Amino acid sequence: MKKTKIFADANLTVGTIDPNLYGSFIEHLGRAVYEGIYEPGHKTADENGFRRDVLELVKELNVPIVRYPGGNFLSGYDWRDGVGPREKRPTRLDLAWFSTETNEFGTDEFMKWCRVAGVTPMMGVNMGTGTIKDAAQLVEYCNHEGGTDISEMRRANGAKEPYHVRYWCIGNEMDGPWQIGHLTAEEYGRKALEAAKVMRWANGELKEEDGTNWAERPLKLIVSGSSNHEIKTFPEWDRVVLEHTYEAVDYLSMHRYYMYDEDRDDPLMDFLGSADDMHEYIGTLRATIEYVRAKVRSKKKLYLSFDEWNIWTVTAPRHEPLWKQAPHLLEDVYTFRDAIVFAGLMNTLLNNCDIVKLGCLAQLVNVIAPIMTKKGGGVFRQTSFYPFRYLANNARGETLRTFSDSDVFGNMFGKARFINEAVTHDRANRRVCVSLCNYDEEAREVELELRSFGEPEAVEYVEMTSLDLDAVNGFGAEKVKPHRKELPEMEAGRTFLTLPALSWSFLILQY
């Protein structure tokens, strides 16, 4: 059996893991909102129409922050359509997804849902058909106490107290020709800067010349970076946009979906190369941020918001009749193969936690999601649910630098490691977590050495493995999930683990 040696030391860290790395995303798309988080009349629905069975699974995932309302939907959305008495809300065409939007669910419902779910809202302002005035007024609607037309509108709609929304995306994927109101980098950079200014002013933040310290600004603004690293404007888009907005914003967004494509020359190895490719992509944006920081002579640290990431294989079907309300769109059913690639993507996020401070698994329910629902029926956990649940609930604190002698395999992106790992250390709870993907078609032995922890003891060890790479979960059939393994013997932080071929293993230790 081939051997890989991995060691980590408590004193050698990558950085602190921001809990927001484990965020997610709900868009007005398909059945994410309607029949997903919201289904009045469902047997588990609460008085707001929120499905309690879905809420339970969201809590199980321990998601801290949820982005809303899009996505591509955002770029055609007028937030005013989604507030006020329901019977007066207009039904509109959603040009992003060729669906009909009833606007039955809008900003106030989302804020209520966030409160019930125990998550922080992360809102988006429309930079496609929307103006900077719309953006500033949405901030006013959410965050201004009262006494103005817009803030009184919120109060009249039932929310006496402001929502104090802190996280705001300035548009979505504005680099994509598919985007409603797509802009060039110059156009978007200018518009995003002006939007950022008026959004902050609407939030009562003083102007630069009045002595605002950027680090203390209450709003956390996320400017739209590249929507993937294959688009031809990458990474020039990011440079230009940041040169306009560097001082005004806090994060640069990035998006990326990976897929298993049987038409590729080497579909499995290409897919298994995703995690290391994601690492390269982050590396390029890390360098771009540093370049712009030097160019604009800033002392400020800007972070990455990886606010759409996942595996996405099914394309939006166009065989459905257009303009359906809550159609079945992007309902990927994840395989075991997807789950082990998904775990590797999470390892990559953790291994870059010094710069990626916010992450949104796209999306949360029904649409390329870990949670699936049936209208009027039950729910199930997809295969990808499990790595997310284990990591989001346990891998906290800091990521440790790992040193590995793993060999590599060639794939469409370049080279990737057969053994893909992340090691985290939660000092407060004296807990170390080790997440290990074996991307070899043979079992592997890993010699793991955890230094400077004294005598850590394994307290939980689970493994996801399957003889059938295409195995999936379904309603009443969650067969693809981690299984507990016998705890490995540790000797002064050292142990030997056998990782089955094509598998994900997760070890928790206490010291």
Q: Which residues are catalytic?
A: 173, 308
CB of 358 vs ligand AHR, minimal distance in Å: 15
The DSSP string of 12-33 is EEEEEPPGGGGEEE--SSTTST
By beta-carbon proximity to ligand AHR, the closer residue of 29 and 345 is: 29
By the rule CB under 6 A, 363 interacts with ligand AHR:
yes
Cα–Cα separations (whole angstroms), residue 296 to 192, 213, 239, 292, 313: 17, 17, 11, 6, 40
By beta-carbon proximity to ligand AHR, the closer residue of 316 and 471 is: 316
In one-letter notation, the amino acid at residue 417 is R
CB of 227 vs ligand AHR, minimal distance in Å: 6
The DSSP string of 314-356 is S---SSSPTTEES---S----BHHHHHHHHHHHHHHHHTTTTE
Closest by alpha carbon to 386, among 156, 111, 144, 57? 57
- Within 8 A by CB and 6+ apart from 189, the residues are 240, 241, 242, 243, 244, 245
When binding is defined by CB under 6 A, the residue of 30, 49, 70, 482 that contacts ligand AHR is 70
For residue 382, whether the previous peptide bond is cis, meaning omega lies within 30 degrees of 0, is: no
By the rule CB under 6 A, 24 interacts with ligand AHR:
no
By the rule CB under 6 A, 175 interacts with ligand AHR:
no
CB of 49 vs ligand AHR, minimal distance in Å: 23
In one-letter notation, the amino acid at residue 211 is G
Taking CB under 6 A as the binding criterion, the range among 40-48, 69-77, 217-225, 241-249 that sits at the site for ligand AHR is: 69-77
CB of 307 vs ligand AHR, minimal distance in Å: 9
CB of 311 vs ligand AHR, minimal distance in Å: 12
CB of 105 vs ligand AHR, minimal distance in Å: 17
In one-letter notation, the amino acid at residue 249 is V
By the rule CB under 6 A, 173 interacts with ligand AHR:
yes
By beta-carbon proximity to ligand AHR, the closer residue of 71 and 106 is: 71
Q: What residues from 234 to 263 belong to the interface with ligand AHR (CB under 6 A)?
A: none
How many C-beta atoms lie closer than 10 Å to residue 239's C-beta? 17
Cα–Cα separations (whole angstroms), residue 235 to 101, 281, 284, 286: 34, 10, 8, 11
By beta-carbon proximity to ligand AHR, the closer residue of 228 and 498 is: 228
Residue written as token pair 């919120």? 154
Taking CB under 6 A as the binding criterion, the range among 66-74, 80-88, 105-113, 240-248 that sits at the site for ligand AHR is: 66-74
CB of 260 vs ligand AHR, minimal distance in Å: 17
Helices 149-156 and 132-143, packing angle to 10 deg: 50
By the rule CB under 6 A, 36 interacts with ligand AHR:
no
Cα separation, 292 vs 354, in Å, equals 18
**SS3 track for 160-207:** CCCCCCCEEEECCCCCCCCCCCCCCHHHHHHHHHHHHHHHHHHCCCCC
By beta-carbon proximity to ligand AHR, the closer residue of 39 and 308 is: 308
Using an 8 Å Cβ cutoff, are 307 and 23 in contact? yes
By the rule CB under 6 A, 172 interacts with ligand AHR:
yes
CB of 73 vs ligand AHR, minimal distance in Å: 6
CB of 72 vs ligand AHR, minimal distance in Å: 4
By beta-carbon proximity to ligand AHR, the closer residue of 37 and 450 is: 37
Using an 8 Å Cβ cutoff, are 122 and 68 in contact? yes
Cα separation, 192 vs 15, in Å, equals 29
Q: What residues from 303 to 322 belong to the interface with ligand AHR (CB under 6 A)?
A: 308
Cα separation, 33 vs 28, in Å, equals 6
- Within 8 A by CB and 6+ apart from 204, the residues are 144
By beta-carbon proximity to ligand AHR, the closer residue of 226 and 227 is: 227
By beta-carbon proximity to ligand AHR, the closer residue of 241 and 499 is: 241
Residue nearest to ligand AHR (CB): 71
By the rule CB under 6 A, 345 interacts with ligand AHR:
no
When binding is defined by CB under 6 A, the residue of 4, 14, 17, 27 that contacts ligand AHR is 27
When binding is defined by CB under 6 A, the residue of 192, 219, 362, 502 that contacts ligand AHR is 362
By beta-carbon proximity to ligand AHR, the closer residue of 32 and 249 is: 32
Q: What residues from 191 to 230 belong to the interface with ligand AHR (CB under 6 A)?
A: 227
Q: Which residues bind ligand AHR (CB under 6 A)?
A: 27, 29, 70-72, 172-173, 227, 308, 362-363
